[in-house]
Amino acid sequence: MNDILLFTVLTLGLLGTVLAVILYFVAQKFKVIEDPKIDLVEDVLPKANCGGCGFPGCRSFAEVSVKSADEKRNLEGLNCPVGGNDVMKQVADILGLEVEEQEPLIAVIRCNGSHANAPSKVLYDGPASCSFAHNLFAGEGGCQFGCLGLGDCVVSCDFDAIHMNPETGLPEVNDKCIACGACVKACPRAIIELRHKGKKDRRIFVSCVNKEKGGPAKKNCSVACIGCSKCQQVCPFDAIIMANNLAYIDFEKCKLCRKCVEVCPTDAIHEINFPLRKAKAETDQTAEKKERAVKEVAATVSDAISPSVNESDTENKA
Amino acid sequence: MNKLRTFTIGGVHPKENKLSEQSSITVLPLPKQLVIPLGQNLGAPPKPVVKKGDEVKTGQLLARAEAFISANIHSPASGKIAKIDEAMDASGYKRQAIIIDVTGDEWVEGIETSTSLNKEISLSKQEIISRIKECGLVGLGGATFPTHVKMMIPEGKIAEYLIINGVECEPYLTSDHRLMLEKGDEMLVGIQIMMKALGTEKAIIGIENNKPDAIAHLKKLAVNYNGISIQPLKVKYPQGGEKQLIKAVVNREVPSGKLPIEVGCVVSNVGTAFAVYEAVQKNKPLIERVVTVTGTSLSKPSNFLVRVGTPVSDLIAAAGGLPEDTGKLINGGPMMGKAVSSPDIPIVKGSSGILLIKKVESKRSTPQSCIRCSKCTVVCPMGLEPYLLAKLSKLSVYDKAEKERIMDCIECGSCQFTCPSSLPLLDFLRLGKQRVGHLIRTRK
Amino acid sequence: MSIFTVSGSPHVHGEENVKKIMYTVVFAMVPAMLVSIYFFGIDAVRVLLISVISSLFFEWVIQKYLLKGPVTINDGSAIVAGILLGFNVPANIPAWMIIMGSLVMIGVAKMSFGGLGNNPFNPALVGRVFMLISFPVQMTSWPVAKPLFAPQLTDAITGPTALGLLKEGVDAGKTIEQIVSDPQMPQYLDRLLGNMSGSLGEISAVALLLGGIFMVYRKVIDWQLPVSIILTVFAVAGIFHLIDPQHYIEPSFHIFSGGLMLGAIFMATDMVTSPMNMRGKIVYGIGVGLLTIIIRLWGAYPEGISFAILIMNAFTPLINNAFKPKRFGIALKK
């Protein structure tokens, strides 16, 4: 009995020792010499592995950061959108560097072609995939630039930050958004843009990406940007760029003065999280006036660009 | 008597519904305005050579092909260029188009408009090809590949057979059928011209057995022409697919990713053969084509000879008007055609038919889960596994999809047609093909 | 003007749908059902009804209250599964056992994987094997077949199946001649028509074949799969019979007794769990045949087809990966 016990203990003990020695040498041989800073950096990262920084995961971001710090002594072009400035500051501290404060970004949907604004002209019957529908046709509302409303962006979001609003048929971004950029890549029509979150979450942007001339754009969608340049004229900071019949507000230059919002004849410029303006009682009359103004502007703009637009407009209606 | 042939892998039998089979080709009057999109051919669109306000005559060059794979566009009527602007294409996207206000039908000098048959082929091989190029011919089967490019055989290859596609395997469509019956002689001369251009001794016309009158008619005529024979084929979709047709007619398999010339074949459509005749013998550019307008709810399903640029709504009106219960308007046949969003689009060189589908039939059934019945695999004419490819594409596993040969898919729709669970297989296959194609291009 | 619909091609759809396929299978099972009613009487009706109703009920409950998704009990798949489970049990089994079996079948083998189309194993067989292991006594005491309206001839209420007799005999060291001459052993014609002990669906080879031919005609199954199973069993059993006829019974016995026909025609051909292309199906069939005969000849159970099919179900994804259909324009060397 004792013999057996002794034998077992001895064999197992010996086996353990031998294997431990082998393991030690193997571990020595295959040891990867890695900068310990990489682990430290990785520890402070959020570990969402979302790819928002442009690298495949938090580990590779850490590696690149350490490399950049070693070689260039800066962290240029590196930013963890999930962690934001706090995390980047911690990373910089570990690496003994200073980091510039980055303005936080958020995804913005630049289309307001809701069911009401851009009524359906055709029915789509197929899989809920924007990228497929984009290849198939212009869209239910008829606008070839606008949102298809099938939710590729919603599927792409890892942070539960973007959802379809069934009433409008458009996606909506909530404050969980960390600007990882997944939806920007997923949208086949490049409608979503990452913009400055803005002070107190206030933003002003042109909610349209339609590059058509005023007439055709307005035909499909009542809130399309018609390229009238009124906003550009009124902007005191040169923040508005006109290109391809479309206004674009440069968020680096925009000081959120809201002048452009007021002049936009089609309400294509959106302001978010601003306090209500002093109530201007808009009677039916003024609304009508506004409507007329829109038409006039659209007409003059079209004329200015190409006199033929009006003809096509009437022809198409006929 | 030839035995009935067909291709070996896969295939389906959709209901034929050839409603307009007996209606002879009627010429449609010119519309008031023509919209001529520039991108009517596979490859680069040609560049306009006219400008707003120009007076043009029928057959005058409107846009010249500058790229290698491109085709000229000519004016389908005489009139004034109203504008060169964006106009809606079949998918609803705005594309560049030339819009002409029609004033009449005055032809450019040098085009013969008589219908007398001219059998004498006087032009040389090179002259034929340059005439075809000048006249802006494209494949009229639907792919709209510029014909002159097809006629130029690459160095070191020999075109042993010219295979003429008279299959018309798409249900409903009858334009090729009517053309074979009514313009048989012209078509055969056109085939002889192509044979000369290609240096081919043998031409075979493949016709499905559901058109016995066309087979009999062409057999009778073909006796007078050297080297042209008729091959009746079993009815099976997609026999009109280039690779399937070659397999069916000469029993050769085009290797994956290669062109038919690899096995010594050139395939052309019967409509193209007729257009070649008109271009070479009459110097007439491609400005009109036969279009079937059909649908079970339509009062007069017909075949029309129409000028390119005529709005689809004109054709529907001539065929009895748009029925109230129309749910879907299809440019092409029911298997591969494209659903369009509005009848205000123009007929282009590649439009072979306009099909109206009733509202009740236009909705797809709700997709159920895949029951792995393998019917899609059985019917796939390319021997692919659509269920797998659709899933890979849905999950964005594009490298695996490429290995499973997604690029071989010819988008014939047999898989989706047969799927008992009504899954949108082809939709996902298309998406996958596009993505994989993009990956392959960026790799280079 | 009406609003048009836009969708990708094709714009027409064939006649096939899931419901049609499922009801074709149900219809194909009718001959075997009638035979079982003829031989086991009201008990057969009782078993089938309980099985189908409980399957439908569990599917409905799970879809409606657990998954909270769409209810698809009318697609016929639960009916098929229910009948198949009924086919796999003896006619005198207590009702609660059938209900347990169908709960395992629908709940565990089917719905837990995501419902129709997603289950890796044949649900009816999972249900049967579960019952076989949980209630071995009830699952292997077979009522004697008694043609409807025929006078009571024997006193025996239960008796062994032909395969059970064979196994017992071989284990006891008897020769084949002795086993076959046992009065309880059903005669050849009886085995063909179904006049023998066994589970509801397996007894009549002729009725099963009829159903099989109907399904092949309607293109619900491919004939190659059942044929490859049966041929493999026949070949292997035949080889052993030739080597040692004293200990191995002639091969046709194996084919017309036990659940081979039922398994080969209705269970192995289950679309969801069998491979997707012809070459794969034949490999799968050969695998099922081999495993069946191995279990029958040397295993502990007299019958092996259920285990064989379940084991091969596990290999289906591998077979799908290894065997691809013949691609057009690939590797054409003369």
Of C108, C139, C170, which marks where a domain is finished?
A: C139
Given a cut of 70, whether residue A291 has pLDDT beyond it is: no
Per-residue pLDDT tens digits for B44-98? 999 999 999 999 999 999 999 988 899 999 999 999 999 998 888 888 888 899 9
In terms of Cα–Cα distance, which of C159, C154, C129 is closest to C142? C159
Question: Does A131 sit within 8 Å of B93, measured CB to CB?
Answer: no
Q: Nearest C-alpha of chain A: how many angstroms from B175?
A: 25
Given a cut of 80, whether residue A299 has pLDDT beyond it is: no
Same domain, C299 and C174: yes
* A120 lies within 8 A of chain C by CB: yes
Binned at pLDDT 50, 70 and 90, residue A318 comes out as: very low
- At A313 the pLDDT is 39
Maximum distance among all Cα pairs of chain A, rounded to whole angstroms: 109
For residue C296, being part of any structural domain is answered with yes
- At A317 the pLDDT is 37
Cβ atoms of C276 and B377 within 8 Å: the answer is yes
For residue C39, being part of any structural domain is answered with yes
Given a cut of 90, whether residue A65 has pLDDT beyond it is: no
First-to-final CA distance of chain A? 106
Quote the CA–CA distance of B387 and B9 in Å, as a whole number.
17
Structural domain count of chain C: 2
Helices and strands, number each (H, E), in chain A: 12, 9
Q: Which residues, at least 6 apart from C251, have a Cβ–Cβ distance to it below 8 Å? A: C233, C234, C235, C237, C238, C241
Strands B288-294 and B302-307: antiparallel
When computed from its CA atoms, the radius of gyration of chain C, rounded to whole angstroms, is 21
ipTM score for this prediction: 0.87
- At A279 the pLDDT is 53
Given a cut of 60, whether residue A293 has pLDDT beyond it is: no
| CA C136 and chain centroid, separation | 19
Q: Which residues, at least 6 apart from A77, have a Cβ–Cβ distance to it below 8 Å? A: none
Q: How far is CA A30 from CA A25, A36, A38, A39, B225, in A?
A: 9, 17, 19, 19, 79
Question: Does B431 sit within 8 Å of A131, measured CB to CB?
Answer: yes
Quote the CA–CA distance of A66 and A64 in Å, as a whole number.
5
- At B171 the pLDDT is 93
B1-26+119-363 is classed CATH 3.40.50.620: no
- At A309 the pLDDT is 37
Per-residue pLDDT tens digits for A156-194? 998 899 999 999 999 999 988 888 888 999 999 999 999
Cβ atoms of A151 and A130 within 8 Å: the answer is yes
Cβ atoms of B186 and B277 within 8 Å: the answer is yes
Half-sphere exposure of C63 (CA within 13 A, CB side): 18
Q: A233 by DSSP, 3-state: which?
A: helix
Question: At residue B300, what are phi and psi to the nearest 5 degrees?
Answer: -130, 80
Question: Does C11 sit within 8 Å of B421, measured CB to CB?
Answer: no
- At A290 the pLDDT is 53
Q: How far is CA B169 from CA A141, B166, C245, in A?
A: 34, 9, 59
Half-sphere exposure of A287 (CA within 13 A, CB side): 4
- At C108 the pLDDT is 93
For residue C329, being part of any structural domain is answered with no
Quote the CA–CA distance of B421 and B369 in Å, as a whole number.
6
To which H or E segment does residue C224 belong?
helix C224-243
> Domain extents for chain B?
1-26+119-363, 27-104, 375-443
Q: Nearest C-alpha of chain A: how many angstroms from C64?
A: 24
CATH code given to domain B27-104: 2.40.50.100
| Residues comprising chain C, all counted | 334
Q: How large a percentage of chain B has pLDDT more than 70? A: 99
Cβ atoms of B332 and B170 within 8 Å: the answer is yes
Supply the DSSP symbol for C106: I
* C5 lies within 8 A of chain A by CB: yes
Q: How far is CA A106 from CA A52, A164, A188, A302, in A?
A: 12, 17, 19, 34
Same domain, C117 and C178: no
From A97-111, B191-205, B414-428, the region with the lowest mean pLDDT: A97-111
Domains located in chain A, CATH noted: 36-94 (1.10.15), 108-192 (3.30.70.20), 198-273+288-312 (3.30.70.20)
Quote the CA–CA distance of B367 and B369 in Å, as a whole number.
7
From A184-193, B179-188, B219-228, C186-195, the region with the lowest mean pLDDT: C186-195
Same domain, C122 and C203: no
Judging contacts by C-beta atoms under 8 Å, the chain B residues touching residue C20 are 420
For residue C11, being part of any structural domain is answered with no
- At A295 the pLDDT is 55
Judging contacts by C-beta atoms under 8 Å, the chain B residues touching residue A306 are 85
| CA B76 and chain centroid, separation | 19
Per-residue pLDDT tens digits for A189-207? 999 999 888 888 888 999 9
Q: Nearest C-alpha of chain A: how many angstroms from C30?
A: 38
Q: Which domain holds residue C61?
A: 18-139
Binned at pLDDT 50, 70 and 90, residue A311 comes out as: very low
* A292 lies within 8 A of chain C by CB: no
- At A305 the pLDDT is 44
Same domain, C218 and C166: yes
Question: Does B417 sit within 8 Å of C330, measured CB to CB?
Answer: no
Q: B162 by DSSP, 3-state: which?
A: strand
For residue C94, being part of any structural domain is answered with yes
Judging contacts by C-beta atoms under 8 Å, the chain B residues touching residue A139 are 92
For residue C299, being part of any structural domain is answered with yes
DSSP B53-100: T-EE-BT-EEEE--SSS---EE-SSEEEEEEEEEEE-TTS-EEEEEEE
Same domain, C115 and C182: no
Q: How large a percentage of chain B has pLDDT more than 90? A: 70
Question: Does B92 sit within 8 Å of A315, measured CB to CB?
Answer: no
Q: Nearest C-alpha of chain C: how many angstroms from B191?
A: 27
Q: Which chains touch C (3 or more CB pairs under 8 A)?
A: A, B
Given a cut of 70, whether residue B213 has pLDDT beyond it is: yes
Q: B381 by DSSP, 3-state: which?
A: coil
Structure-block tokens of residue B204: 């075979």
Half-sphere exposure of B220 (CA within 13 A, CB side): 8
Strands B33-37 and B94-104: antiparallel
CB pairs under 8 A between B and C: 164
Quote the CA–CA distance of B274 and B160 in Å, as a whole number.
21
- CB atoms under 10 Å from CB of B341, counted, come to 24
Helix axes A36-44, A84-94, angle to 10 degrees: 160
Q: Would you write out chain C's pLDDT as a tens digit for each of its 334 residues?
A: 568 889 988 999 998 899 999 999 999 999 999 999 988 888 899 999 999 999 999 999 999 999 888 888 888 899 999 999 999 999 889 999 999 999 999 999 999 998 888 999 999 999 999 999 999 888 888 887 777 666 555 545 677 788 888 888 888 888 888 888 877 788 777 777 878 888 888 888 899 999 999 999 998 999 999 999 999 999 999 999 999 888 888 888 888 888 899 999 999 999 999 999 889 999 999 999 999 999 998 888 888 899 999 999 999 999 999 998 888 887 644 3
Question: Does C75 sit within 8 Å of B385, measured CB to CB?
Answer: no
For testing contact with chain A, the best of B341, B342, B368, B393 (most A CBs within 10 A):
B341
Burial of A108 (0-12, 13-18, 19+ CB in 10 A): buried
Of C91, C108, C139, which marks where a domain is finished?
A: C139
- At C156 the pLDDT is 52
Global pTM value: 0.85
First-to-final CA distance of chain B? 50
A235 or C180, which is more confident: A235
Question: Does C117 sit within 8 Å of B341, measured CB to CB?
Answer: no
- CB atoms under 10 Å from CB of C205, counted, come to 21
Quote the CA–CA distance of A190 and A183 in Å, as a whole number.
9
Given a cut of 70, whether residue A302 has pLDDT beyond it is: no
